[in-house]
Structure 1
Amino acid sequence: MKLERSSALLGAFAVGAVTLAGCGSDNNSSTGTSGGSTAAESSASCTGKENLSGAGSSAQKNAMDSFTAAYISACSAKGKKVNVAYNPSGSGDGRTQFIAEQIDFAGSDSAIKDEQAAQAKQRCGGNDAWNLPLVFGPISLAYNIEGVDRLVLDGETAAKVFNGGITKWNDPAIAALNRGVALPDTDITVFVRSDSSGTTDNFQQYLAAAAPQAWTQGAGSDFKGGVGQGAKGSAGVAQSVAGTPGAIGYVEKSFADQNKLRSAEIDNGAGPVELSAATASKAIAGAQFTAEGSMNLALDLKSTYQTKAAGVYPLILATYEIVCSKGYDADTSAAVKSFLTSAVNEGQSGLEQLGYVPLPNDFKAKAAASIEAIG
């Protein structure tokens, strides 16, 4: 099944800077504006335990703050006090904490699978853990080159930059994609995630799919390119690139925007494509599920990463909430379902201004059905 775009996704949106809470903070109780339905109309039950805990993906930190604010507002309107403490400690750490029963749900930019999925099944009392993508976000190849307002890369050049095959900004391969641009004869400073990260996994999956001959290091949550300086979290990478002339890194668009970084255009074979809501939406429209008809909504993005369709920005990620399909105690189950119901509905409004692409309507319905089925 392909995800169809809603008409709302076809328009470009203005991306505004938002204040990012400290990367180590787990207090998300600040107020905010909920969207979609009004608080009084929210379908969230606001039942179950008062305080939920989550950890993981820093890519979805800004979205999680917005989800939490919308949930608090919706439940306050119903006379209920709730809170969600989310620590953006990285996708790998979130999955580990979820398996260890230290948190109620994990945020992850890649689906839980293989050995970790088996471990999560034990944590969930013999029941499967589900991957529920509630936010889509394009990944920016964010760069800091003085005087270069427009930079074009393709999968092969990006792969060689991030594995050390290209070390100068005026390398002939980059120059060929940027004719007429005065590229400096300076070293490229690469920044990568130092923590285990789903963003890293998605980025490396893209490189492996788009440039299999240039990127032979494989994928995974830990960076395998062998070059670069490590920085903690998406915020850390973006801040490092912003403070280092000649730098490049991979971060979600929201973090690139917050740090006023330019994003390279990607030439996927049909000409350069800038990172925008419209071009990312076209990529999302081509995404496919790994298992049709399942309540576990993990996605297979390989075909998206390999696309040669015109006007499609191929480097996107789906960021998941990992939850037990069954196996929670009654109070936790009710609270998890209530929070995610709010997130998939009124929580989606306003994500555009945070640099994300909201769920297409047909996918929103599938996510809502999976949330309702949590036991």
Structure 2
Amino acid sequence: MKLQRNGRSKALAIGAMALVSSLSLAACGSDNNTNTASGGSNGSSAAAAAINCGKAGTLLGAGSTAQAPAIDVWKTNFGSSCSGTTVNYSGGGSGAGVQQFNQGKVAFAGSDFALKPADVDASKAVCTGGKAIDLPMVAGLVSLVYNVEGVDNLVLDGPTAAKVFDSQITKWNDPAIAALNPGAKLPDAEIQTFHRSDDSGTTFNLTSYFAKTSGGAWSAEPSKAWKGKGGQSANGSAGVSAQIKQVKNSIGYAELSYAQTNNLKSAKIATGAAQPVEATAANAANTIASSTVSGTDGDLALSLDYGTKADNAYPIVLVTYEIACDKGNKAETLDTLKSFLTYTISDGAQKSIGDKGYVPMPAAIGDKVKAAVGTLA
């Protein structure tokens, strides 16, 4: 059993290294409107890529706050290369983004969870002759961020974390937490939990992990709306992160990019692997590389392995989708939409967000996205 686990771990590690090392600058297309972006808001020349700008104008998007830092980098690169073109993206959460898309208010939406059948049906009213599809664009992880004085290397597992966020465990020195953290100076203090107040794909991914790994401790179905008992709420990942930074003995959840920006500590996860797994982009890449496409009829929704026990595979991963019409996009924004999405899935654009805590999309999935974007009409 140990040999099999180690072998799988090595295979995953090699795959992740190959995934990262294979990234190179790539052209998003070329014609008379092609320009070159040189660097982005992260100051990295790795963001440079040839961009087919399409028609000048304003492209509107909304939704996931998990992908907002990535979109900030991309829209700056795209806009600086394409004179007269502006990409405006407002957060508000995945639920709000999908709602605005289905109301025809934005050209694309960002969502941390795949569209539900009801959402697809509703999209047909704005996607004339077509429907909305999921295009996986931003990969990352959900970090369990905490602020506990004197605790620098907190370890949690699925059952314990689920009980903490459901108010079944209320003290930091609870025996279940102590058993996972031998030698740690856990305070005899009340746990202050924070969750998202808005409908959120980040919440959906976290609760999907709980549903898979908590052994029944988390009784609710995975949901974009928070279903746990107790705790305090905050709007968006930025709001949760700000609360964790300010409130002692607190714990919440946010994407790694927000944990890094706010200098927050992230818990390691005991998955059944040889060692608890750190919340790093490289460890998330091991899990995301094993994902498969579960969508049908042109939809590229992914199936993620929240219950992975492979060494160096962080389990609480997420993929943010760009939601767009496969047919029936507005004529005045179609060219710009295709150009922008073609750029964002390019190797150069994916590499440009690496230092924001994101994971480059695996090449096998990225190729499918590139092909799908090319057929949008």
TM-score range, shorter chain: 0.7 to 0.9
Contact 1:167 1:187 in 2 (8 A): yes
Structure 2 counterpart of 1:21: none
Return the letter of the residue paired with 1:9. Answer: V
Q: Which has the higher contact order (CA 8 A, sep 6+)?
A: 1
**Aligned match of 2:355 in 346, 353, 356?**
353
Structure 2 counterpart of 1:281: 285
Distance change >3 Å, CA 340–CA 291, structure 1 → 2: same
Structure 2 counterpart of 1:64: 71
> C-alpha distance in 2, partners of 1:309/1:32?
32
**Aligned match of 1:7 in 3, 13, 18?**
18
Return the letter of the residue paired with 1:38. Answer: A
Q: TM-score, normalised by structure 2?
A: 0.87
Question: What is the CA distance between 1:96 and its match in structure 2?
Answer: 0.4
Question: What is the CA distance between 1:358 and its match in structure 2?
Answer: 1.4
Structure 1 counterpart of 2:235: 232
Partner SS, residue 178 of structure 2 = helix
Question: What is the CA distance between 1:140 and its match in structure 2?
Answer: 0.3
Question: What is the CA distance between 1:34 and its match in structure 2?
Answer: 6.7
> C-alpha distance in 1, partners of 2:371/2:359?
20
Partner SS, residue 124 of structure 2 = helix
Contact 2:47 2:352 in 1 (8 A): no
Structure 2 counterpart of 1:22: none
2:62 is the alignment partner of 1:55: yes
Deviations 1:324-351 (A, max 9, x none): 0010132211111011111111321221
Structure 2 unaligned residues grouped into runs of 5+? 1-11, 23-39
Distance change >3 Å, CA 112–CA 291, structure 1 → 2: closer
Any residues of structure 2 matched to 1:161-176 within 5 Å, and which? Answer: 161-176=164-179
Structure 2 counterpart of 1:341: 342
Aligned length: 345
> C-alpha distance in 2, partners of 1:355/1:38?
19
Question: What is the CA distance between 1:10 and its match in structure 2?
Answer: 6.9
Any residues of structure 2 matched to 1:170-185 within 5 Å, and which? Answer: 170-185=173-188
Distance change >3 Å, CA 6–CA 369, structure 1 → 2: farther
Return the letter of the residue paired with 2:48. Answer: T
Structure 2 counterpart of 1:20: none
Question: What is the CA distance between 1:116 and its match in structure 2?
Answer: 1.2
Identity of aligned residues (%): 44
Return the letter of the residue paired with 2:62. Answer: A
Deviations 1:174-198 (A, max 9, x none): 1000011111110000000001111
Return the letter of the residue paired with 1:7. Answer: A
> C-alpha distance in 2, partners of 1:90/1:269?
32
Contact 1:34 1:70 in 2 (8 A): no
Structure 2 counterpart of 1:329: 330
Any residues of structure 2 matched to 1:205-244 within 5 Å, and which? Answer: 205-244=208-247
Partner SS, residue 235 of structure 1 = helix
Distance change >3 Å, CA 159–CA 37, structure 1 → 2: closer
